[in-house]
Amino acid sequence: MRIVVTGASGGIGGTLVRLAKSRGDYVVGISRERSDADVHYRCDVLDVACLRGVAEEVGRVDGLALAHGHGEEGLWKRDVASLSAEDLLDVFRVDVVGSFNAVKAFLPALGPSASVVLVASTPGIVGDRYGIPYAVAKGALIALARSLAKALAPIRVNAVALGPIETRWTSWVTPEELDEFRSRTVLRRLGRPEEAAEAIYWLLSPASSYVTGHVLVVDGGESL
């Protein structure tokens, strides 16, 4: 497959890049920091002209994984009283508008059997007292994925809703709070980036050829 991964230098995006390459896929990485992709482009998902330029240069694409996301420790633990409307909009722009921008930019390169995967999270379904702006944006991504599945068929569009995956956010909380996140899950542990990447890869691959408009929950049972 020829796969494009946004957020290709991140914890989940970078893991997906390495997984796909290990299986013989040609991987195009897009992020502001260098990635391990076969070819990498430094591009912000809010820079539409940059995304279009990459799409034109890359050509045909079988899969588009939107693994980028707004990440700021300062927003993670702020309560409602200290959050502003702009805080919510900042995350929404990167996560939701950025994903929409990427889909539009690569749409001419996506054939009828192509697959698009948006990376959301369990709090986008059930809510959370942590990272409220992130939960709001991830909920919107789920709605975007389902809408695009209807609008872009036969191109397949799905989302993954990830639970507590062991990436950089774990350094933003105390050991006691990490224990709380573990206790929320039925499996009583955090997920590994490799487990998230495998789920995304399955939705990108022909193995999921009859799956579209679906939200694949990968959360160790957190949302039960």
Nearest to 134 by CA among 78, 191, 217, 218: 78
Cβ neighbours of residue 151 under 8 Å, at least 6 residues apart? none
Among the options 26, 134, 201, 210, which is catalytic?
A: 134
CA distance linking residue 202 with residue 45, whole number of Å: 24
CA distance linking residue 144 with residue 151, whole number of Å: 10
Place of tokens 């702009």: 86
Nearest to 13 by CA among 70, 51, 65, 64: 65
Cα 21 off chain centre by: 18
Active site residue 41: no
- Helix (H) or strand (E) holding 158, with range, is strand 156-162
CA distance linking residue 58 with residue 106, whole number of Å: 9
Cβ neighbours of residue 14 under 8 Å, at least 6 residues apart? 8, 35, 36, 193
DSSP string, 74-129: HHHS--GGG--HHHHHHHHIIIIIHHHHHHHHHGGGEEEEEEEEEEEETHHHH--S
Active site positions, annotated: 134
